[in-house]
Each structure stands twice: as C-alpha cells, then as structure tokens.
Amino acid sequence: KPGYLLLWKKSGEILYTEDFMSLQMRTVFTEANSYDSEICALSRDYCAIACSKHGEDGGSLKILSLQFQLVSSEAPLKTTIHKGRGLFYVSDYLLIVGGGRVAFGSISELDKQLDQYIGLGLNSSTNNPEVTNFGALSLYQSLPGLYKSGDMNKVLDTLTSHHDVPEDLVIDFLDFITDEAKNSLTNADRKDYLKKIMELELSHRVLAGEMTRLNMQQGLLLVELMCSILEDAVLQPSIENRLLSWLDLILSSNYVHTVLAKDDRTEAVLDTAYEKVLKLEEQLESASNLVCVLEALPALNFTQDNEKNLPYSIQIKQL
C-alpha cells in the first residue's frame, strides 16, 4: 500500500499528499514548461521525474527530495519520448524507457540530510567564476579566482550583485583593499569601492565579530576613507547612517589600541573623525530646532491693527 500520492499538474506543480480521504495536497516542486513528463516514487522521502523542455533538445532525469523539496541529483537525457510511461523503480534500480530504448541505473543515497545539500548545483569544474549565481554559496566558489586575477571591479560586482552577502566575505574584501602590501590601489579607488559596500544590508552584530580580523592600520585607513565619504555634498540618510555605524564598529574593535596609541597619524585620524561627527551633531541639532520653529508657526496669533483701516474714527470729548 503506497504511503503517499504524487500528482504532476500541467502547470508544472508537483503535488504531494499522505491523506487519501480528503486529498489535501501541497506543492513540493515545480517543473514548468515541460512535456513527456513522468514521475515515479522511490522511497518515502524521494521520487524521480523525467521530462523534456519546450524549445530544448533532449530531456533531464531528476531525483527529488520530498522532505526538503530540493533536487538531490540530476542527469541529462538524449530523449524522453515515452508518453508518460517511462520510469519504473524495481529492486533499487530505476528503469528509463525512451526512444525505443531501455536504460537502467542503481539508486543510492536516499537518506541525505539537509547539510549534504549545501553547495549542490555549483559547477566546481568551470573555469569561469562568473557563470554561477546560486545565491550566497556561489560567492565562496567564485571569489577566490577573482582575487587571484586581481580584478577588484569584478570582485565588487560579484559581491554587490547578491542580495544575501555573508559578512565574512565583506571583511575579506575590506582586508584586501586596505592591505597596502597586497595591492597598489589609490585611496580614490578604495573610497569608490567602500561607497558600494555601504549599499549592502549587513548584520552589525556579525560584523563586530569579523571586524577583529583587521589590524589597527587597516582600521585607521577605513576611518579616513569613511570621513572622506561623509564630506561628500549629498548622501542618502541610509548611507550616512551606515557610515556612522561602521565608524563605531571599527573604533570599538580596536578600542584598546586606539586609546593607548601615541603616534601622530592615529591622533590625526581620530581628531578628523571626532570633528566630523561633532559637525553632524550640530547640523542635526540645528535642523531639529528649525523643525520645532516651523511646527510652532501655525499656533502663533498675529493681531492686526484694524484701527487704521476704519473709514471713520470716534473721539470722546468732555464738554
């Protein structure tokens, strides 16, 4: 007796249910734009599907995890012409029928845990690190090759093109551009790179732990660059807020060394940062006072001297 029921809709949704009475089904996978589609149960947690895509040659065979709703493995097929009757699972062997031929293969690893799916789908054999965009995981594969090539623009574009960028990779980037022994970048280049990094949404709690990997000289260089960015004429409030938060993180991560430092450069950088933050506080206070005055204007009553506007006047005289 089967333990579940699978239904592959024409829209591409693969539905799953264990309730044979009410047939309350849920979507476990979607394979749209396909034809010659076939599905076959392998175990309680796995099934196999074979199909061809409209506009593409050949087809594909996929093993799906019903529990995690992920593709466990995939193989290309030269043909899948079987009119929906091409997959059979018998005694741990998967039989594939198509184009007048019968092929078979053994099935294993039907007990994968979630951690075994990490990185699945990344093409580690490719020589082009830009071809894969598989979420944040692809960054760990593509960035090392880009660093070796020395093209920092491509490194930055790869980082900023992802919505979910791990904080440790951001610190790796800052570590590279602020290490003057590793590169010959100008401060203008570093400033441009840092502006784009400030556009990323990052966790400051995670950054605080990663920031300790930067030495004091790198921290001072970042403070100099951020103060220079703050001097720009126009900054979005969100970018300005992130810059100030980064300043706090950098100074906090090197607090002891900063307090004990007596060299001229450290004192000059800290004085610049202090003056810039103080200037921003004064501007904020002035803006706040102006807002208070503007909000109070409607409550003020301006009395007009109507006496001069009357067409006549009354005078009282004692006779």
- On the question of pLDDT at 154 being above 50, the answer is yes
- The amino acid at residue 59 is G
Predicted pLDDT of residue 11? 84
Collapsed DSSP state (helix, strand, coil) of residue 135: coil
- At 29, which amino acid appears? F
Q: Which residue has the tokens 């004692």?
A: 318
How high is the pLDDT of residue 132?
43
pLDDT, position 198: 87
Judge whether residue 286 has pLDDT over 60: yes
Residue 93 three-state SS: strand
Give the percent of the chain with pLDDT over 90.
3
- pLDDT tens for 120-153 read 554 444 444 443 444 566 788 788 888 888 888 8
End-to-end CA distance of the chain: 124
Q: What is the pLDDT of residue 175?
A: 92
Judge contact between 42 and 63, C-beta under 8 A: yes
Q: Which residues lie below 8 Å from residue 110, measured CB to CB, with a gap of 6+?
A: 42, 43, 45, 46
Q: Which pLDDT belongs to residue 313?
A: 66
Tell me the mean pLDDT in the region 298-316: 63
Contacts of range 43-47, beta carbons closer than 8 Å, 24 or more positions apart: 43/110, 44/3, 44/4, 45/110, 46/72, 46/110, 47/6
Least confident of 38-42, 165-169, 244-248, 267-271: 267-271
Q: What is the mean pLDDT of residues 201-227?
A: 86
Per-residue pLDDT, 173: 92
Ordered alpha helix ranges (H), 45-162:
137-149, 152-160
Instruction: Kindly report the number of other CB atoms within 10 A of residue 1's CB atom.
Output: 3
Q: What is the mean pLDDT of the chain?
A: 79
- Residue 310 burial by CB count (10 A; 0-12/13-18/19+): exposed, middle or buried? exposed
